[in-house]
Amino acid sequence: MASASTSLSKAEKSYIHSSLCSSPPLRADGRSLFDFRTVLLETGVAPLANGSAKLNIGKQPHEGGGGTEVVAATKLEVEDIENGDGVEGGRIICSVICSPSAYPHLSSNALDELQYDLTTILHQTLSDSSLHPPNLGILPNKKSWLLCIDVAVLADAGNVFDAIFMASRAALWDTKVPRTRPIEYQARGLAPSGAADVEMDTESGQQAQKSSFDTRDMIKTAADFELPDYWDEGEVLGGREQWPVCVTLNILPPMHYLDATPSEEASTPLRLLLAFSFPPDSPAVLQAMRLLGPGELTVAQLKAFTADGEKYARELFAALEGKLREEDLRRNVKARDRFAAR
Amino acid sequence: MSGGDDMAVWMQARANERASGLHRGDKTSRTITSFSHPLSAALSAPRKSNPWVEILNDGGYRSDGRRQYELRDISIDLAQQGTADGSAVLTHGLTQVLVTVFGPREAKMRSQTLHDRAVLNVEVNVLPFSTGERRRRARADRRMLELAATIKTTFEPVVQTGLYPRSEIDVFVHVLQQDGGLLQTCINATTLALATAGIPLLDFVCAVSGGVHATSPMLDLTTLEENDLPHVTVAVMPRTNKVTLVTLETRLHVDRFGEIFKLACEAGQTIHKEMRRAVKSRTSALITAMGGGLGHGPGADVLERDIVMDDVHTNDDF
């Protein structure tokens, strides 16, 4: 992984190692081993996307900058199943873009490699069939949605994986799928009831006996679809409680810690990424695990870290969910009240 | 997203309300009494290219409710971004651009340095969710390279590169949202970012786009207008009124071009005022923060303040 943003001398590395291993453990900003820095989240930052979120870990308060800043956005496109790349039931593509201002010391080739690494990890975790949302199809065997998740890393101050997964989860939570209605075109004279309309939609039925509002059978024969309401954003993307959160355990055997700053990351390059999903009323599911960096772990250590990781991920999940619901409230209910009161 | 949609509905309603002449000349009324269908407004107007939205209607209003020479809202955020030396987020209507500047610093590749001045590198990054239609562009996309080269040639004569030989100034432009006027927003944001980074400039560079609809010139075009009209982008240095950039990619009659060019130069002065105001308020905020540190604390009475704070407000030039 070509993401070492700071170069440290051996003396600095050993200084950080010894303070992490001391008792009580000491970190440069005074946090405990399992404390996260302040996480700022805002949803709905890209009005042209179907869902978006901006996340910042560790921004200095009071006009300060810094921190890991990540913007994620989801976009839905229509795909043809017969003639194009579409898949029955829709598909998901993820991509990560690293801004050169986040990694000013890297050349553009190294930046591309880093982008590719981050994209692979995100794509393989989120496009898994166990997380596939149920409402990504439009017309069976004809058209489906392609969900594109784009994440842009604008600044990196450590812990970029957690930021990427949290922002993706927030953007997916915020995603609205436009409602579609199947329509069918029929030539004159073919319909038994003698319907003279060239375009038949749900308003005029096919047979006199059937109710004209019954569109259930039409979806099998429909050739195209329309958006019934132009201004409606649509329904929420299904399965949004399942999207995973990731915790990065920075490992300095035998101990581990969370949310590393750039100098800490440079001194303890061995990391374990764990992506957990917490579906409601079910036990936690480990969606992805990656061991990055030079170093080795015994299987017993790995099991212990995984169990610890689940605890941290659960807290992170609960906090993120609380904030997402609060953001929903701010943007929908309160915005509507303010607009009505103008 | 509901906010954006609400705004779109509201703007359309305002435009239609004005088009139907309900509140002609009444600038104070803000209530929306009726929301007429866009088709009725379009049917009343004569020849237009897009049957659903008119570029400029009989009442002199454009598709988003502005008048002919009215510029969109500008909002400037000069807060620090990441570890950049200078940064600026400029929102011009619905077009939002973030520019970060690094430098002057040691060049990544010594072979690309110049012995007597600094090298200015510009990289443009258009995020895929910036337009309505998602398009993932490769890093070496031609349009982005062209945009970067245009920005670079605009700023080469303005940045005092002679002061920093054998070094490099990196400008990274990120396009967060696009709704027309991309080049003008990029240039304005780059000026602010360079100023925030403390890099010496000869003057501000203020850019504005303009176009001509039939015979009426218009300033600051949105995407809808840019697709239909010939448009030109002009960048001026406001103190000396010198022009550093003029681009025109479509066909335009020479007389019309003269009109819109003059208008755009004047509009550059307006944008200059906004930019100066933003930089001044940011500078005074920073000086207050620094001044607060010097005047208070344990060593305050020992330390003598030799900076006269009034210079910020009485000094007219930059």
Chain B nearest-CA residue for A95: B136
Contact B84 A335 (CB under 8 A): no
pLDDT exceeds cutoff 90 at B208: yes
Chain B: nearest CA to A30, how far in angstroms? 21
Q: Report helix, strand or coil for B274.
A: helix
A196 or A35, higher pLDDT: A35
Q: What pLDDT shows up at residue B273?
A: 94
Chain segment A102-125, per-residue pLDDT in tens: 998 888 899 999 999 999 999 999
Chain segment A291-300, per-residue pLDDT in tens: 999 999 999 9
In order, the DSSP letters of B39-86 are HHHHHHS---SSSSS-SB-TTS-BTTS--TTPPPPEEEE----TT-SE
Q: What pLDDT shows up at residue B8?
A: 45
Q: Report helix, strand or coil for B268.
A: helix
Cα four-point dihedral sign B196, B197, B202, B205: negative
Instruction: Identify how many contiguous H helices and E strands chain B contains and give both numbers.
Output: 7, 9
Chain A nearest-CA residue for B179: A48
Beta strand A143-155 with A176-177: parallel, antiparallel or unpaired?
unpaired
Contact B81 A155 (CB under 8 A): yes
- pTM value surpassing 0.90: no
User: Residues of B with CB below 8 A from A67's CB?
Assistant: 82
CB proximity list for A187: less than 8 A, separation 6 or greater: A198
User: Residues of B with CB below 8 A from A150's CB?
Assistant: 127-129, 134, 136
Q: Which CATH class is domain B69-307?
A: alpha beta
Chain segment B246-284, per-residue pLDDT in tens: 999 888 888 888 888 899 989 999 999 999 999 999 999
Q: Indicate the domain borders of chain B.
A: 69-307
Chain B: nearest CA to A304, how far in angstroms? 35
Contact A233 B5 (CB under 8 A): yes
Chain B nearest-CA residue for A44: B1
Q: What pLDDT shows up at residue A247?
A: 96
For residue A318, what are its two tokens? 């609960």
Which of A55, A59, A60, A101 is best to mutate for the B interface (most B CBs within 10 A)?
A101
Domains of chain A are 10-180+227-340 (3.30.230.70)
Chain A: nearest CA to B92, how far in angstroms? 15
Q: Return the closest-CA partner of residue B67 out of B52, B78, B79, B57.
A: B57
Which of A42, A77, A107, A154 is best to mutate for the B interface (most B CBs within 10 A)?
A154
Contact A154 B9 (CB under 8 A): no
Instruction: Give percent of chain A above pLDDT 90.
Output: 56
Q: Tell me whether 0.90 is exceeded by the ipTM.
A: no
- Please state the φ and ψ torsions of residue B166, each to the nearest 5 degrees: 60, 25
Contact A51 B1 (CB under 8 A): yes
Instruction: Give percent of chain A above pLDDT 70.
Output: 88
Contact A101 B81 (CB under 8 A): yes
